[in-house]
Amino acid sequence: MNSFREIRRFALLASVALPMAVTATGISAQEKPKGHGDTPASAYQPSMTTLGQINVEIPGRKPGDPVITPSEFQSANKMYFERCAGCHGVLRKGATGKPLTTDITRENGYEYLHDFIKYGSPGGMPNWGTSGELNEDQIDLMARYLLIEPPAPPEFGMPQMLETWKVLVKPEDRPTKKMNDIDIDNLFSVTLRDAGQIALIDGKSYEIHSIIETGYAVHISRISASGRYLFVIGRDALINMIDLWMEEPATVAQIKVGAEARSVETSKMKGWEDKYAIAGSYWPPQYVIMDGDTLEPKKVVSTRGMIYDTQEYHPEPRVAAIIASHYRPEFIVNVKETGKILLVDYSDIKNLKVTEIEAERFLHDGGLDSSKRYFLTAANARGKIAVIDTKEGALTALVESEGETPHPGRGANLNHPVYGPVWATSHLGDETVALIGTDPEGHPDNAWKMVQQLFALGGGSLFVKSHPTSNHLYVDAPLNPDAEISASVAVFKVDELDQEEPEYKVLPIVEWAGIAEGQPRVVQGEFNKEGNEIWFSVWNGRDLESALVVVDDKTLELKHVIKDPRLVTPTGKFNVFNTRQDVY
C-alpha cells in the first residue's frame, strides 16, 4: 500500500462488490479524466445550504454497504447538503446535476465517484479536490457516502412554521405614514451573503442607512405592491418582513418556512395589493401562502407529484422562481424537478385553485417581458426557455436558448433595432447571450424565437441587465475561472445590435474598485430608479475587502465606489422601484 490512507480505504471498501481499480499497490485513482475542469461550467459553485446543520440517521444498512461510522456519516451528510444538494437534490434524484441514487453510484463504483469529486467535469461539476475545497480524506468519505442510500431530512409543516412565526411589531402599532426622509423608491437592498445581513443603501448619496440581520445568505429581496414592505428570504428559509416606513427600517415579522428555500413574492393584482405573500422551499418541497401584513402562514401546499413527461413520481420537486401576475390574482410558481409551472389563484385560498402547466425540466429563474404579460423562465438543464402568458394562463412557447445552461436571473428587456422588443438571457456554460423576440402583435414573425445570439466575455455568467432608458446590455461572468474575466463586465450597445457581429466594451470593475487582494468576482448589475446608473457587486472572500461599484450608464465610466467594513460579501442588489415594478 502507498499510504495509511489507502490501507484504510481498502479495508473500508473490502466488502463492497463494486467496480474499482485494484493494483498491487492498492487502490489507485485514475489520471485526471480528459477535459475535466477545463471549461467555464466547471467553475460553477452551487449555493451553500443550511441543511447540513440537521443530524439525520444512517438509512438501514444493506449487505455490501461501505463501512462508515456515525460521526463520518454526519460529516459526509453536512458536506453533501452544503455543497451538492443544490444541484443533485436532497434525495439525490438530480436536477441541474445528474442523479446520484445508489443504483447509479454502485454501478459506476468508488473510483469513478472519487475522480468526479476530485476533478469535476466539463458539464458543470466543480473540481472539489484539485481546487482545494476538499482534501483527500474528505473525497474518500464522500465517495463512500454516495454508495449508501440517501437520508431524508425531517419535514417542516404548519406546526413547525407556527413555532418560528413572530410578529415583532403588530400592524396596529406600526406607523400610519412614512416616518423617515429616505427616498424609498431609490433605496437598494443589498445582500451581505456570508454575514447573514442586508444593507439598505441610498441610491443618491450612496450612504448605508441600515444593516439588518436576516437569514443565512439572502437569496432575493422583494417589495410589496405598496412599496412599504421589504421581504427577504435566506437559503435557510427564514423570511424577514421589513417596514421601510419606520424611523429606522426594521423587521416587523419573521417566519421560517422550511429547511432550505430560494423564493418569496407578494400579491400585485389590482385590489389585492399587499394582501398575501408566498414563499417556496427546496426542502421540504412545498410553498406556503401567508398573510401580507403579519406573515401568518395560511396554507401550505406540497409540490410532490408526477414528472410532467415521464409521469413518474418525484419525491423532491423543489420550488424555484415565483412571480406575481399583474393580470390575474395569481402567483406563478416554478416547480423545478417535475417541469411544471403552477398558477396559484389566491382569490380564495380556502378553496385553492391551481392550474398546472406542463413546461420543461428543470425550471429555475426568469422574469417578465417589457409588457409584463409574458413570463420567460429557464429550464436550465434542458437549455430551454418556457414562455407563459399570464393573462390567458397558458404555455405560449418553448424556445431553445442554443447555449449551455441558461441563467437569466430576471433577464433583460431591450428594444432591438431590427427585431423590436426582445428578452435576453446569458449562460453558465458558455459565452453566448440569447435574444428572444417578445412582441407577438408588433413583430409576429420574431415572437418566441431566438432572433440573435451574442458572444460575451466567457462562460460563468449569472445575470444580464438593461433598463428602459438605457442603450446598453450588461453581461457579467462571476463564475468564469479566468480571474480577469470574472473581474469584468461586457457591455453591448443596443442600437448597434443590428451589426453582423456586435462588439462589446469591457468594464474593469474590480480594477475600478481598487481591490488587489483575493480574487473578487463581479456580479449582478442593478439600475437605480432613474436608470442612469448601474451598480455592480465586487464579491470577495468573507475576510477580504469587497465593494459596490457605480457606473454612469451614459458614459460607461466609473462614477463612485462604495466601500465599508460592513459590506461583507455583497452579492444581489434590489432597487425598490425597479423590483416593485418588475423593471429589468
Q: Which residues are catalytic?
A: 84, 87-88, 125, 364, 407
CA angle 495, 411, 321 (to 5 degrees): 170
Segment 169-174 long-range contacts (CB within 8 Å, at least 24 positions apart): 169/243, 169/246, 169/250, 169/252, 169/253, 170/294, 171/293, 171/294, 174/243, 174/245, 174/246, 174/252
Q: How many Cα atoms within 13 Å fall on the side-chain side of residue 500?
A: 0
Q: Is the dihedral of CA 62, 64, 70, 75 positive or negative?
A: negative
Packing angle between helix 110-119 and helix 136-145, nearest 10 degrees?
130
Measured between alpha carbons, how far is residue 438 from residues 348, 399, 474 in Å? 32, 11, 19
Please give the grid coordinates belonging to residue 204: 443618491
Packing angle between helix 70-83 and helix 136-145, nearest 10 degrees?
90
**d(C-alpha 394, C-alpha 480), whole Å:** 36
**d(C-alpha 18, C-alpha 8), whole Å:** 17
Phi and psi angles of residue 58, each rounded to the nearest 5 degrees, phi first: -70, 125
The 3-state DSSP composition of the chain as helix, strand, coil percent (nearest 5) reads 15, 35, 50
Contact 374, 387 (CB under 8 A): yes
**d(C-alpha 300, C-alpha 296), whole Å:** 11
